[in-house]
Chains A and B, each alone.
Chain A
Amino acid sequence: MLMKLTGGKIYDPAHGIDGDVRDIYVRNGRIVERPTDVKIDQEIDVRGKVIMAGAIDMHTHIGGGKVNIARTMLPEDHAADVVARTELMRSGCGHAAPSTLTAGYRYAEMGYTAGFEPAILPVNARQAHMEMHDTPIIDKGGYVMLGSDDFLLRMMAANNDQEAINNYVAWTMNHSHAIGVKVVNPGGINAFKFNQRKLDLDEKNNYYGVTPRDILLRLARAVKELGVPHPLHVHGCNLGVPGNMGTTLDTIEGIDGLPMHLTHIQFHSYGTEGDFKFSSGSAQIAEQINKHKNITVDVGQILFGQTVTASGDNMRQHAAHPHAHPNKWVCMDIECDAGCGVLPFKYKDQSYVNALQWMIGLETFLMADDPWRVFLTTDHPNGAPFTSYPHLIKLLMDKTFRNDVLSQLHPEAQKASHLASLDREYSLYEIAIMTRAGAAKLVGLADRGHLGVGGAADITVYTDNPDREKMFTTPDYVFKDGKMVVKDGQLIEVTWGTTHVVKPNYDISIEKQLKPYFDRYHTQKMGNFKISDDEIIDDGRGSITVQPLHAGGRI
């Protein structure tokens, strides 16, 4: 079947196309050349409409243990947003910690066609994939968390060479079916188990003598040398601590030019100036991002209201527990592998700190020059639920709207920020970079995030509404792998996306260390830790898409 989308304004930054009027042809789920002699089976008139590739959320907590703890512990949050079953859709719930089914439907209805879970613990990867398997329509994948796992720290303490570490990283990525590697509070989750309560970039783990800086360098190098396209995904030290901008700047300098993605940078951009001893560090952070081309960031914008924070960083989550709202929280130590912490949280516009967090996020968006290196996230659900993206896009694209909101926030916070003086408004082209082309490039998706011939036909069609929130809330059409799944903002068909992975090579000799390690210390056998392809494919609804490694990747 051949489909033609006729006459839309195309925003395809991967090919430098900025609003040109072109036709798009789709066959068998792919974008194809204009055929010369084949009958067009379906033509859709999209003249005047804005066309982008399907959006990609490169950092969203959609599956895995801590997300499910958040769901289980928040019945009162779901109650306001329960979702009834329809002929097409299963019932579920939305808001801060939505059910997997509802999450998939709502992403699709917003024009998103892929989401990546950024914190898959190796020992919990099986569960993360189960949940993503039950997340309809969108493609998915995830970054496997290393850096507080005892196996890596033992290797580092024993001064194993980089090749051995590369082997371990590649082995873990393969057997947990990951597309990237994440590190959360490098070594800090582990240090918390030894009762350390903070861990600065150059502070040693009491047991291993290893520092976060060492861990970052080892893992960033491993990711690069293995040819994994997604740079090491870093949730840095000292999340949320006033003054942590210094740590963040040191982290950028300290990575020696290796590719590194700093996630939810907003939470790591705080100074200590002013009466409240809490100030914006976004200017200095943005300056360093602009200067260091090896650095990418996503913002982790906060938006006001109730949400829940779910993080692998149990050291910082424990420290933050007095702020839990409502007052309940979970921290876990996990399997000599990692940890997690879940705290419900309410961001208040009349709180000085929360208002300034909002401003710091937006300042970062507006002062980071290169939209190919800054990504639109709320760290769902930590800063706000993903359903608030259209609102966030409006804040970025509409200065008047932004300043109207700003003027209603805590007055002292307004004085502490120069956000009102920032005139920048994001263009549709820049939004398409951040949420499509740039995101695909960053995650390492060769066939997504663009509208070129051969690409997957994940396509979103919008009406060019000056109210950008309305525009991005209800696309006219969303196509997933060539199938129309959304029409006029409403889901019309349920499909099941693929799981994107990379498969870096490793030397099987690593198992000579791993097998006895599992046997001696773990409560699960190495062989049962590994997730088979069959588990991802499961009932036939799932599939695995292996994305290419960068050329020159080596062990």
Chain B
Amino acid sequence: MTEMTEPGIWQEVPSPFCGIASDDLVIKVDGNNVTILENGDAITKAGFETAITDLSPRINGKDVPLDEAVSYAAQLIRDAKQPVIGGLATDLNGCRAAMALADKSRATVDNMDSTPTFRNLLVLQDTGWMTTTLTEVRNRVDVLLVVGTDIESDFPRFYERMVWNKESMFNQDIESRQVIYLGKTPSGDASTSPKGKKAQVLACDDADLPEVLSVLRALIKGKQIQAKQVGGLAVSDLDALAETLKQAKYSVVTWSAGNLDFDHAETSVQMICELVKDLNLETRSSGLPLGGRDGAMTANQVSAWQSGYPMRTNFSRGFPDYDPYLSDSNRMLANDEVDTLVWVSSFNVQRTPPQSLAKTIVIGRSGMTFEQEPEVFIPVGVPGIDHVGRTFRLDTVVSIPLRKLRDSGLPSTHDVLTAIENAL
């Protein structure tokens, strides 16, 4: 359990920032200053160590008391014809409060990472998938196929925690694990085994991935391929990859939808998921969609159980109205369809609202700076630093309790959104 073992020193602190919810961090808290002493990485260091700057809410740039900011925000939402609650980077109770507010104010809900998330969700809703979770990977993976993704830049500790761990529960020789990249080349050495075995790389451009994946799936299914080359790769190399996957006892095919940044990448995700299903006719194989940083999974989970639908759901008709295209908040904002935007961003000060003509209320992490001062800014605490909370990991199965590490006096997103709802 996250606990203070000596004054100011916290053990087993979970990270709500990194998507894999690493919970072995050792953290020092001195007043409002937080320092990771052990097991930090670029993502979690920025997450935990960003300093508090603002403590006061602002209306049009002028400091005001919290209740004034809340009632002003409520007024903006009351006057809005098409409000959007976007960003939605917060913890469980922040998401609950956002859903309640959206329901009452007939707003649209969307998450800042929906564009990549929906590359996966559209597949889930169309054909489904077979997936696994991090502890299974840690103990069972024998072949890891990484598709179109540079894991370590977004998930710096993935290999350390899930692939090159010291031991497997099933006495697997960890060194025997094979890592194969298809598409992007890894940016560093995280995928290199402890004894120095480098990952195999079958490099191709993102633009060629749809074709390459189609051929790989065809080969797995035993189809004849006439071409010798696809996307600059030798078909014989893909055939060898197909054979490796078929021979594997527990292969894991992973991708980060954020890295598959091309039009209709969902069809490539679908191809991955279908080839995993094909492999499972004879052996075991699982997909592992990476993502879920800054609470993206939490927002979709809470929305799904409270409304039946994930993000991109609109309450303007009084009931949940799901449309992954029409209710894409980026599209709506770019098209000037939104008159009031509530931007919730309690984890990362870099994640500010997109430029738009909408009146903007930012419920944001203290330390955020804006090119264009929003109508209302209410600085809030960070779940897992300033207040307790819970967050879902990328595999959506495991959620983790977040502790309060310091007493900054900043309100939680839940408290602010609930106050706004009550003031409507």
Binding site for B on A (CB under 8 A): 63, 65, 67-69, 71-75, 78-79, 82-85, 90-93, 97-102, 121, 123-124, 126-127, 130-131, 134, 150, 154, 192-195, 207, 318, 324, 327-337, 342, 520-528, 530-532, 534-535, 538-539
Contact = CB atoms under 8 A, between A and B. Distances in A.
A328 B270 CA distance: 12
User: Chain B contact residues (Cβ within 8 angstroms of A): what range?
Assistant: 35 or more
Given A73-B128, A539-B93, A193 B250 contact: yes
B218 interface: no
B379 interface: no
Contacts, number: 208
Given A73-B124, A334-B397, A93 B136 contact: no
Given A82-B320, A334-B397, A524-B23, A92 B128 contact: no
Interface string B1-12: 111000000001
B291 to A, nearest CB: 14
B140 A126 contact: no
Nearest to A79: B322
Contact of B304 (A72, A123, A328, A539): A72
A285 B315 CA distance: 49
A93 B398 CA distance: 25
Given A332-B132, A336-B169, A527-B1, A72 B310 contact: yes
A84 B400 CA distance: 32
A207 B170 contact: yes
A436 to B, nearest CB: 28
A521 B127 CA distance: 32
Contact of A68 (B21, B134, B250, B301): B301
Contacts of B300: 72
Contacts of B130: 318, 330-332
B305 interface: yes
- Interface residues of B, dominant DSSP: mixed
Contacts of B128: 73, 324, 328-330, 342
Contact of A336 (B24, B139, B390): B139
Contacts of A79: 322
A535 to B, nearest CB: 7
B401 interface: yes
A528 B400 contact: yes
Interface in B344-376: none
Contact of A92 (B14, B127, B140, B308): B308
A330 B124 contact: yes
B305 A134 contact: yes
Given A72-B121, A72-B124, A523-B162, 11 more contacts: A71-B309, A72-B300, A72-B310, A78-B320, A99-B305, A193-B136, A195-B284, A332-B131, A521-B168, A521-B169, A530-B1
B286 interface: yes
B20 interface: yes
Contact of A330 (B129, B169, B392): B129
A65 B300 CA distance: 12
Contact of A83 (B92, B104, B309, B319): B319
A335 B134 contact: yes
Contacts of B167: 520-521
B3 A528 contact: no
A130 B1 contact: no
What 10 A-B pairs have minimum CB-CB distances, sorted nearest first? A527-B1, A93-B308, A328-B128, A78-B308, A523-B134, A335-B135, A82-B319, A84-B319, A84-B318, A329-B128
A535 B398 CA distance: 15
A374 B33 CA distance: 60
A100 B305 contact: yes
B307 A65 contact: no
10 contacts: A127-B301, A194-B249, A329-B128, A333-B133, A333-B136, A333-B286, A523-B135, A525-B1, A528-B2, A528-B12
Given A193-B284, A523-B20, A527-B2, A71 B308 contact: yes
A91 B92 contact: no
B308 A328 contact: no
A126 B320 contact: no
A90 B97 CA distance: 12
Given A85-B103, A91-B315, A333-B286, A124 B398 contact: yes
Nearest to B99: A90
B24 A525 contact: yes
A244 to B, nearest CB: 23
Contacts of A336: 135-136, 139, 169
A541 to B, nearest CB: 11
Most buried by B among A83, A194, A335: A335
